[in-house]
DNA sequence: CTTGACCTGTGTGCTACACATAGGTTTATA
DNA sequence: TATAAACCTATGTGTAGCACACAGGTCAAG
């Protein structure tokens, strides 16, 4: 109603409006703004940040990239690269290949942790609780060796 | 040589000595000290921290517990509980059960991420690099939808 | 006594937000 | 029109577990 002439008057969103449209929390929008991933202009009267449709596209891109494993600093690089007119595709492919390798390693580590924890529970089911003493803090944990 | 009478003169280790004996870095010892997981006394002349065999046991326990998935704050709780003479075993069992569930969830999330990334690489292998334009930052990433 | 290697404590940075706080805006009601 | 309640804002801080930078202290060799 109050914004019929979209061509002359730019649409301004406040934090929560932008957040809702992108399906994220206001805190996320504020954080991305703080680290300059979003660059709204400032309302002069009260200092509120004002976002536009470009910011909305950008925010949606960020969430999409995050969902594919890109870190915020990598996304920042991609955005800078892209807005300087160069294709970010090569970088994008490289990063995801690297992330696949990293993530595979992390998965292995967590699987090994899971194994250790499940083994501990099994082993501990036969052991009683004990009071600590000078030599021992918790005999359950200590029964699993130093490494 | 210089410390033959261990019963009367307490053995004091400096940061690196303790770290080496426990197989961790000096930074780890300093960090644990900073968060009061270790509580050395202060050398009066130069402010250096001085650790003893009790600290060594404690440090080894911490690393052992971390290897089983306990967080440092949980380990702190266990240590406090234990040094007040109560058995930490119940707490220890509860935490590891909880951690197993949490870790299983995290594993699933990382596996799903891995799937998404591998699917992306496969899909992208048929797509060319493109220059960005007003509507698109990176068509590769954007081809994977908003969620 | 000086040079150099090695060590020290403290301060800061990292990721990606979540939460607390004090205050401003807007809406409903009297 | 006044006011109270609901909602929103920007900013500051906390989170986990270290790693690294820094300026200076210690200690053995020469």
Residue of A138, A142, A143, A145 to mutate when probing chain B, most B C-beta within 10 A = A138
pLDDT digits (tens, 9 = 90+) for B37-93: 999 999 888 899 999 999 999 999 999 999 999 999 999 999 999 999 999 999 999
Q: What three-state secondary structure class fits A42?
A: strand
B38 part of contact set with chain A, CB < 8 Å: no
Are B118 and A97 in contact (CB < 8 Å)?
Answer: no
User: For the segment A65-80, what is each residue's pLDDT rounded down to a tens digit?
Assistant: 999 999 999 999 999 9
The A residues from 58 to 97 touching B (CB cutoff 8 Å) are: 58, 60-61, 63-65, 67-70, 78-79, 82-83, 85-90, 92-93, 96-97
B9, B10, B16, B22 alpha-carbon torsion, rounded to 10°: 130
Higher pLDDT, A64 or B133: A64
| Cβ A41 to strand D below 7 Å | no
CA→C1' distance for B73 and C19 (Å): 19
**Residues B74/B53, Cβ–Cβ less than 8 Å:** no
Q: How far apart are CA B139 and CA B75, in angstroms?
A: 47
Please list the helix, strand and coil fractions of chain A in percent, rounded to the nearest 5, in that order. Answer: 55, 5, 35
Among the listed ranges A2-6, A20-24, A117-121, which one has the minimum average pLDDT value? A2-6
pLDDT at A6 over 50: no
Residue A44 pLDDT class (50, 70, 90 cuts): confident
Strand D bases with any atom < 7 A from protein Cβ: 7-12, 15-21, 25-26
How far is A54 from B84, CA to CA, in rounded Å? 59
Euclidean distance between CA atoms B144 and B147, whole angstroms: 8
Top residue of A79, A82, A86, A89 to mutate, by most chain B CBs within 10 Å, is A89
Considering only CA atoms, which residue is closest to the C1' of nucleotide D26? Answer: B46
Q: How far is the CA of A39 from the C1' of D9 (A)?
A: 17
- A17 Cβ neighbours under 8 A, 6+ residues apart: A51
**Mean pLDDT of all residues in chain A?**
91
**Fold adopted by A1-86:** Multidrug-efflux Transporter Regulator; Chain: A; Domain 2 (1.10.1660)
Q: Please tell me whether residue B95 adopts helix, strand or coil conformation.
A: helix
| DSSP assignment string, B25-80 | -HHHHHHHHHTTSS-PEEPTTT--EEB-HHHHHHHHHHHHHHHTT--HHHHHHHHH
Question: Which nucleotide C1' is nearest B15 CA?
Answer: C8
**Cβ-based contacts with strand C at under 7 Å:** A 25, 27-28, 30-31, 45-46, 66, 71-73; B 14-17, 26, 30, 34, 47-49
Closest to A103 (Cα-Cα) out of B45, B94, B115, B97: B115
């Amino acid at each position: 109603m109050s914004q019929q002439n979209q061509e002359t008057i730019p649409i301004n969103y406040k934090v929560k409006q932008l957040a809702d449209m992108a399906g994220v929390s206001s805190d996320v929008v504020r954080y991305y703004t703080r680290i300059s991933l979003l660059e709204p202009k400032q309302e002069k009267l009260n200092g509120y940040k004002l976002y536009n449709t470009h910011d909305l596209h950008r925010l949606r891109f960020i969430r999409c990239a995050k969902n594919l494993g890109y870190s915020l600093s990598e996304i920042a690089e991609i955005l800078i690269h892209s807005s300087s007119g160069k294709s970010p595709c090569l970088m994008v492919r490289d990063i995801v290949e690297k992330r696949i390798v990293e993530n595979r390693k992390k998965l292995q580590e967590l699987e090994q942790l899971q194994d250790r924890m499940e083994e501990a529970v099994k082993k501990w089911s036969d052991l009683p609780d004990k009071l600590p003493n000078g030599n021992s803090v918790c005999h359950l944990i200590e029964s699993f060796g130093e490494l």
